[in-house]
Structure 1
Amino acid sequence: MIDLVTKLVLKPLAKALYRPTIEGLENVPRKGGVILASNHMSFVDSVVIPLAAPRQVFFLAKAEYFTGTGLKGAVSRFFFTHVINAVPVERGSVRAATASLDEGLEILTSGRAFGIYPEGTRSLDGRLYRGKTGVAWLALTAGVPVVPVALEGPQHILPVGKRIPRLHKISVKFGEPLRFDELHGQARSAKARRQVTDEVMAAIQALSGQESAEQYNESPKAA
C-alpha cells in the first residue's frame, strides 16, 4: 500500500513540482539486470534518477539512515525504503566496500536495476571526476549492460550545506547501453576494470558536457 502511494502520489507530485526534462528513456532496458551509472551532483540525485527512470532503480545507502529513532528516524526509513528503493549497507572500511559491491551484485543477478556513482562522492565544483572501478567489477562479474546517466539541476535543489530543498528545473539524460561482452569474466583484471570504467566515464561526460577533472574526487568533508 505504501509503495502504491509513493508511485501514484509522491512521484507524480515531485514531477509536477520540478518539471524534469527526460531524454533517452528508450535506452533503459525494461527487464534484466542493468547498471545506471551517473554523474553525482547532489544528495538528491538518488531521488531524481528513480523518478525519471522507466523502472525501479535500487541504490545503496549507509545503514545509519535506517536505524534512527523517533519521528526523524521513521521519516528517514520511509524515504530511503519507499522513495529511492535504498538497500542499507555499512560503510567506512575495505570490508564494508566489498560488502557493498556484493549487495550490488545480488541486485543485478536478481534481474533488477542498480544505480551507482562511479565518482564515489558528489562533485562540489561541477567537474566530472575520474571513475572508481567498482562499476566495472559489477558489469564484468554480472555480465550486464551499463547505461550512462547525466544529471543537471539537482545541485541547485539542495546545495551542499542546505537542508530545505528549492525548486529548480532538472535534466536527466539516459545514454545508449554500453556492453562489455568481450571482457565478461575479466573482473579480476585491473586493466580490464580500468578500461571499462574509463569508457563509462567518457560516455557520462559526452552526455553531461562537464569538464573532466582527470583525478579522483575527495570526500565532501575533506573538501
Structure 2
Amino acid sequence: MIKLFWYSYFGIYLLIKSIVTKIDLLFLTKKSQEAIDECVYKRSKEISDHLLKKSKTISIVKGKGNIPQGPCVFVSNHQAIFDCFLIYSNVCRLSGFIAKKEIEKYPLVSNWLNVMHSVYIDRKNVREGMKAINKGIENLKSGYSIIIFPEGTRSLESKMGEFKKGSMKLAIKANVPIVPITVDGTYKVLEVGNKVRGNEVKIMIHEPVYVDKLSEEEKKNLSNILHDIVENGLKDLRV
C-alpha cells in the first residue's frame, strides 16, 4: 500500500472510531469511570490490532506473562510510530503515553491520548516538565499505567539511542514496577520507503524492575540499567 493512501485510511478510520466512541462515552458518563475506561481500552486496542493487521504485519510476542498486576510504567525503545500500536496491542490494560507537547495540536490524536490518561511534556520548559511528571504520578496512583519512550524520539533504525535520565523520575517517585519492553522491526513497516510494507515485528516484555528493591546507586543509574535490558532484548530477538 502506498504510504499516502495508508495515512488517508488511518485518518478516516480514526475519525470514524472517534465519533462512535464519543457517542458511547456520552452514555457512559452517567455510569462509572471504570465503565468509561473499559470502553476506551477496548476501542484503543481494537484500533491497534486493526492497524497492525491492515499493514500486514506479523507480530511475534514474548514475555507477556511478565506484566504485573496493578499500575506500572512500561519503558520501551522507540523505532517508529508502529511501536505505539504494537505495545498497546499487548499490554492488556488501559495505559497512557508520555507524549510531546506538540501532539496536542492534532485533535484527532490528542483526543484519544486524553481519554487514555496520557500526559504531555514540554521538553523545553523545566517547570512544565515537572508538572507533567506530577500529573503522571497522579495517574499512576489512580491505577493507570503509563508508556514511556526514554529515547525521546524515533530512531528509524534498529540501533538504540541513549535513555534520558529525566524520564526515570516518574517511575522512581511513583514507586511502581517498571516493565522494560523491547520492540524490533517496526521502523520497516511505515518509515522506510514510499510504501507500507508488511513485515515481521517483534516485542519482548521483560521481567519487572521493582523500584523499592533498588539501592540509591541503582536508582541513579536506572536509565542505563533499563537501556541495557532493552538493548540485550534486541540481541535476543534477532537470534
Same fold (TM over 0.5): yes
Describe the shift of the 1:115–1:163 C-alpha distance in structure 2 as closer, same or farther (beyond 3 A): farther
> Counterpart of 2:24?
none
Corresponding letter in the other structure for 2:211: F
Describe the shift of the 1:165–1:142 C-alpha distance in structure 2 as closer, same or farther (beyond 3 A): same
Report the Cα offset of residue 15 of structure 1: 4.3
> Counterpart of 1:6?
43
Corresponding letter in the other structure for 1:27: N
Report the Cα offset of residue 10 of structure 1: 2.8
Describe the shift of the 1:172–1:19 C-alpha distance in structure 2 as closer, same or farther (beyond 3 A): same
Distance in 1 of aligned mates of 2:45 and 2:74: 23
> Counterpart of 1:177?
208
Distance in 2 of aligned mates of 1:4 and 1:177: 22
Does 1:207 pair with 2:239? no
Does 1:76 pair with 2:114? no
Cα-Cα RMSD? 2.9
Distance in 1 of aligned mates of 2:200 and 2:71: 30
Report the Cα offset of residue 80 of structure 1: 4.0
Report the Cα offset of residue 144 of structure 1: 1.0
Whether the aligned pair in 2 keeps the contact of 1:152 and 1:171 (CA below 8 Å) is yes
Q: Which runs of 5+ in 1 are unaligned?
A: 211-223
> Counterpart of 1:218?
none
Describe the shift of the 1:61–1:11 C-alpha distance in structure 2 as closer, same or farther (beyond 3 A): same
Does 1:95 pair with 2:127? yes
> Counterpart of 2:7?
none
> Counterpart of 1:194?
220
> Counterpart of 1:38?
76
Give the alignment's TM-score, normalised by structure 1. 0.73
Describe the shift of the 1:95–1:43 C-alpha distance in structure 2 as closer, same or farther (beyond 3 A): farther
Structure with the bigger percentage of helix: 2
Report the Cα offset of residue 21 of structure 1: 1.2
Does 1:19 pair with 2:19? no
Describe the shift of the 1:93–1:156 C-alpha distance in structure 2 as closer, same or farther (beyond 3 A): same
User: What count of residue pairs does the alignment treat as equivalent?
Assistant: 197
Give the alignment's TM-score, normalised by structure 2. 0.69
Distance in 2 of aligned mates of 1:5 and 1:35: 20
Report the Cα offset of residue 11 of structure 1: 3.6
Whether the aligned pair in 1 keeps the contact of 2:179 and 2:206 (CA below 8 Å) is yes
Does 1:168 pair with 2:199? yes
> Counterpart of 1:61?
99
Taking every aligned residue pair, what percent have the same amino acid on both sides?
A: 24
* Bigger Rg, which one: 2
> Counterpart of 1:214?
none
SS in 1 for 2:98: strand
> Counterpart of 1:219?
none
Describe the shift of the 1:126–1:90 C-alpha distance in structure 2 as closer, same or farther (beyond 3 A): same
What's the CA shift string for 1:42-89, capped at 9, x where partnerless?
Answer: 133222211121212210223443344xxxx4x33455456x764444
Whether the aligned pair in 2 keeps the contact of 1:136 and 1:194 (CA below 8 Å) is no
Distance in 1 of aligned mates of 2:41 and 2:50: 14
